[in-house]
Structure 1
């Protein structure tokens, strides 16, 4: 494994920063302390910063040996926010904020980019500019989109942007990257069925929304099995059904909520249109009406082919070809997707291992994402930082050639 020696030397101090961030988790758009830590470190290392994009976002600007005169630039992104969940771990760096936890490893993502930043500050072995993007609000807040709306790519022009996420269950020392869709779109729906309430002993005098809801839920699955091409991916999950207050009363209304996930906008367009038709026509068939709401949160995360291949080559130079595996797409969502809609780039996974890295005092659950017993593997800091450094150096060198 060809990690950079100077990064290894500083890894313990960066791990201490990571654990400090883990102990003080902040939710989306509330990452004031975390942003302060990032800004203080970058400033300490002599890296100019810009604050305020996406409310709490921080951008570090590292000019190469040419002072950035080439005009070429690459963006490296890490997310900073935590999740609204209670941590089960009791080790020394466990969350000090009740109901908040770094259960997805964004503390580790921030630490790996900080480690790369420290190296960049001392060894500007490239021509052009590296933009270090510390993004807020990935967990449902769409921080990437908000940073872009605030002028991220206008104020900091870059030709490509790259992201990275730790991936539990993969053997530590491995990476995964592939072209095309790697994470799904995330969308929510809410359907309110309006019937006519009445006595449960006399259902013929009303319009019962509950069996209408049951029929609707079943019908939605035919969209997946009969309207969508079998080779396309799509999931409709009805996760909430709310109706009624008494056992002997037919309710006036019934509410359905859930999510839809796809790997393409075309499939998403079809599913939304068909769900609306099914909902409205099912209600009409029973003399009921409905309100149909559909909210598109995050688009699919789609890696551009050239950048994914380039990232793979960089990874292979660090860990060897055998340790760069196929990135199996997941139906989870990621707001880095917004950046990839605007710029070429690639979103990769770095293996977090099987959880045996955790200190004594970890919770009894598995070391998986969004689990109260999760913790980031600090051994990844030198490896992840080395990837960021080599990726930027080699991408800018290739762009110059």
Structure 2
């Protein structure tokens, strides 16, 4: 928490408070890179650049704490467990915004494939929701030579996988993006045995709650009725993990202007929404704000000894572009200073 020279939280001037968030967790990936700063721990790697996110925010925090040339308070939020753990949700539950009642919160992620040092942001949905499903079909095992003596879950599972795709093509509004991905089918242990059970797992991703409700309902109906048609038992589980990340219009526009002032309009782009997910969405459900991206380049920055594969997120050949640290830190500093100085046109809550 960094208070400005002219009064921070409850200070003698505007009392404004802004939150800047960086995640810092790694992934269960064994790194292929062999350069000096590669992971020293098998099965653990910063394959999404969260170490770089932390470095950029630390650089900004150091500068802001040293200069304090702003009025208000900057709350630097270093968040664990973005990769599936819902760390943002848990921090909010633990009282993050009750203790630090920011009026706006911003998050930034590096983006491989976008030119290094370029930025992108937009209002509205930018990252999809992430949800998991699990379907367990229970039948009756039998010898493969005598299928009539059993209840085979395999044909039913195959029909379900095909039928789920009709939800996207025939039930969903074509203008509302969604994707259903069956990523696991587990059944059987021997080629001459009809298995007793089969399990289907995967994810569903949408930008709206209405479409997600539709997908869950239709998947449940398809699974239940298909299983019944084959005489099978069916256990259907649908877990809603991360909601969609939806940027607030005023904050997205404010961040865009700071980007333009920093790098010029030609280096600022419209954020093309991704079907990936991000738990910063929980913070944006609680507070106005925006999630933006900074280009990580195409991998040409990597030192000798890098893996031979692409420099993409969640990839064992990935490497954060350290050249972004000064620029990312500068963006955070300028955003905080500008927002605390000018605000966003909204009146502050009573007591803020």
TM over 0.5: yes
**Equivalence for 1:290:** 234
Q: Name which of 307, 310, 328 aligns with 2:251.
A: 307
2:7 matches 1:67: yes
**Equivalence for 2:350:** none
**Equivalence for 1:4:** none
Q: Are the equivalent residues in 1 in contact too, given 2:18–2:75 (CA < 8 A)?
A: yes
Residues 175-324 of structure 1: matches in 2 within 5 Å? 175-324=119-268
Q: Name which of 284, 308, 319 aligns with 1:364.
A: 308
Matched residues in 1 for 2:343 and 2:307: separation? 47
If the length of structure 1 is used for normalisation, what is the TM-score? 0.84
DSSP 3-state at the match of 1:294 = strand
DSSP 3-state at the match of 2:227 = helix
Deviation track 1:148-169 (CA, whole Å, cap 9, x = no partner) reads 1100000011011000000011
Which runs of 5 or more residues in structure 1 are unaligned?
Answer: 1-60
2:85 matches 1:145: no
Deviation track 1:116-167 (CA, whole Å, cap 9, x = no partner) reads 0111012212111100000001111111111111000000110110000000
| Count of aligned residue pairs for this structure pair | 341
**Equivalence for 1:159:** 103
**Equivalence for 2:76:** 132
Deviation of residue 173 (structure 1)? Answer: 2.1
Which runs of 5 or more residues in structure 2 are unaligned?
Answer: 346-352
Matched residues in 2 for 1:106 and 1:253: separation? 40
Deviation of residue 400 (structure 1)? Answer: 8.5
Aligned-residue Cα RMSD (Å) equals: 1.1
Quick one: higher RCO (CA 8 Å, sep 6+), 1 or 2?
A: 2
DSSP 3-state at the match of 1:164 = strand
**Poorly superposed stretches of 4+, deviation over 6 Å:** none
Matched residues in 1 for 2:35 and 2:344: separation? 48
DSSP 3-state at the match of 1:100 = coil
Deviation of residue 96 (structure 1)? Answer: 1.1
Matched residues in 1 for 2:204 and 2:167: separation? 12
Matched residues in 2 for 1:66 and 1:125: separation? 8
Deviation of residue 91 (structure 1)? Answer: 0.8
If the length of structure 2 is used for normalisation, what is the TM-score? 0.95
